[in-house]
Amino acid sequence: MQNPPKEGRMHPGLSGLDHKRYRRIICKRRLLIFTVVLVGTFFLWHALGGTSPSGSETRRYSKDLKTYPKRTDIPESEWKETSVVLAVPLKVGAPDNQTPTSRIVTALRKPDGDNKVSSNANLHPKDFSIIGQHARVETRSLAKQQQLGSLPFQRQPEMEAALSRVVTSLPGEMHMRDLLRPVEGTGKEKLHEMGLRTRSYGEFFQIWEDLHIVSDPDGTSYVRNDIVQYLTRLRESPGLATQGAGIFSSMTTGQIIRTYETYRHFLAKFGQLLFPYTSPFFPDHMSLHLQFKNAQRGIVLTAGDDQAHFLMTTIYSFRKLGCTLPIEVMYLGDSDLSEDYRAELEAIEGVVTRDVSQMVNDEGWKLAGWAIKAFAILFSSFREVIFIDADSAFFQDPAVLFDDLEYQKTGALFFKDRLMMPESKKRWVQQVLPKPFSPQVKQNRFWTGESAHMQESGVVVVDKWKHFLSMLLVTRMNGPDRDGDEDQGIVGVYDMVYGDKETFWLGWELSGDFKYAFHKGDAGTMGVVNQTHHVDIEVETSSEEDHTGDQQRDQHHQGHDGPSNDNFTICAPQLLHLDTNGKPLWFNGWVLDNKFADKSHKQFAVFEDYVVEPHNWVGEDAWQLQQDNQCCLTTYPGLKFEFTKAEKGVLSMIIDRAKDIEAAVLS
């Protein structure tokens, strides 16, 4: 028998057996480590909110951990806020086989119609530690769902009502064909037809805008282009497509979409027929119109190289009078206003020059001369515009015109021309204007025969958002329909009225827009007064308003002559406009004796007095047109005034600046 081996030695005959024993020991150790890691991972997984592999959530915790806090033990401010954030459609009392997040939602969600929380919800203690983490995840998830359109579809009653008006307002085939036929005729007939078409277009255009222009609570406006997508989602929403009245009950979704798109096609062709020159610079009339809704107020001027030196003076005087309004100077290409002048004008604070020729498609006609005024107003970036001629100047801050009561009521303020050259154009007005027209027409000089000159367009004040269609028609009258051709028997607008000045009030009346007003202030002229011999004239003072106006002028001016047996005359090219208190407001005709004289013969005028146009003049015209654009106004002694010291100071400031500019131009 062999002796047992000493400690630490292997038995010579059992070496293989010892090796297997050590391998078994190593395997047992590895299995133990793996088991410990697995068990630890298992408990860590459940501690972090994992789902039980066995499917039984209640086996994760011992019985002493099964008593959980009730929802009523949680402060209401906590569960109320969380219930809003985690607005997931789960039912209270759902089986306890959910993730921690879904259990929290189930436990914290209020039952429908119950202002109190239930007291039978069981929440695991560790669930409360992850509420904030999962709330952020769920919030992002809901936002993503809303962005992708996966939230439940909701109907929009106001939009559907506007869409119904579009669908039901689509004209029939014969009516549509009549509206889209070319505008034929010439002269009065064509103006009348353009008025009728513009009124129809305005109705269809307003219905279209009511559907597509949307305003947010913060005042931001935009054009919505999701009508077809909305109808498609409505059709795909179970139970909703069959609900509602009107077109939504009588027409299929496909029929509504096709009618909507037919209306869109019709309106686009109608707009291109009447006012094609806004394209392609502006994609459509609605896009152009929307630009004005939230735009600011501003002054618009027009000038070429020959008038730029006027603007260097007038803009300077505006700033001296305290006017801070932004100013846009509109011109017709580089050949009209040179780059050097543009740079000088833009060196003045708040002034920008803009090329109108790029904005107007004048194919088949040519935009030039006076006609630019209407286009400059329409295409300026402002909503509320004070247009001012280059040769006009102000005694007061031009911005006061926005405070005029008549402007605030109507959004359009015009000024009257000289009351001269009596001529009745009543029959012409009756033939041109579609019915109905405003009551103002019967007070118009064209109707009464007092004069063939009603408006003077040296200053025009317009809110373009309110009067967009009217301005479109005014531009047409100064654009494609402006000029006639005697050889072809074509009568243009300028053949019927003198230049652009009458096209404004006519455009308003033709388009059926009756919200406009003529300024209530009187007109006159300015310069050095000449006393004329007394003429037997009966002065009618039956109008209390006229007497009050004289009193107001007396209160605001000192040093004027009192009653006299002689009348007073001033001959000058300037047309002066007074404010409603009788104070000088602005004038046109510049500050020269004759602005059309050549440079070597130009002389600056002297302004000491002004006379006001009489309302009840008897005899020959109070105004007499003379050579060199001179107009002589003879009036009563009580309507002759001397400029105040402050008014003379404004005139001196303008003339001094004009002299400096003239000297710089000549040098």
- Residue identified by tokens 């078409």 is 197
Q: If you ran DSSP here, which 8-state letter would residue 182 be given?
A: -
- Torsion, Cα of 655, 658, 664, 667 (10° steps): -70
Cβ–Cβ < 8 Å for 379, 360: yes
Q: What gap in Å lies between CA 52 and CA 659, rounded to an integer?
A: 95
DSSP H or E run through 570: strand 567-572
Cis peptide upstream of residue 280 (ω within 30 degrees of 0): yes
Q: How many CB atoms lie within 10 A of CB 110?
A: 16
In the chain, list all ranges with CATH 3.90.550.
293-518
- In the Cβ-directed half-sphere of 544, how many Cα atoms lie within 13 Å? 0
Alpha-carbon 542 to chain mean position: 46
| pTM for the whole structure | 0.75
CATH number for region 293-518? 3.90.550
Residue 141 in this model has a pLDDT that exceeds 70: no
Q: Token pair of 130, please?
A: 């992850």
For 54-82, how does the pLDDT look when each residue is reduced to its tens digit (9 = 90+)? Answer: 444 444 444 444 444 444 444 544 443 33
Q: What are 608-667's pLDDT values in tens digits? A: 999 999 988 877 889 999 887 889 999 999 999 999 999 999 999 999 999 999 888 877
Q: Where are the alpha helices (DSSP H) in 149-243?
A: 157-169, 173-180, 187-212, 227-236
The region, left, alpha or beta by phi > 0 then psi within -120 to 50, assigned to residue 333 is left
Distance of CA 440 to the CA centre of its chain: 28
**Average pLDDT of the chain, as a whole number:** 82
Distance CA 525, CA 575 (A): 5
Q: Confidence class of residue 149 from pLDDT cuts 50, 70 and 90?
A: low
- With a pLDDT cut of 90, the percent of the chain lying above it is 63
User: Predicted confidence band at 51 (pLDDT cuts at 50, 70, 90)?
Assistant: low
Residue 342 has pLDDT above 80, yes or no: yes
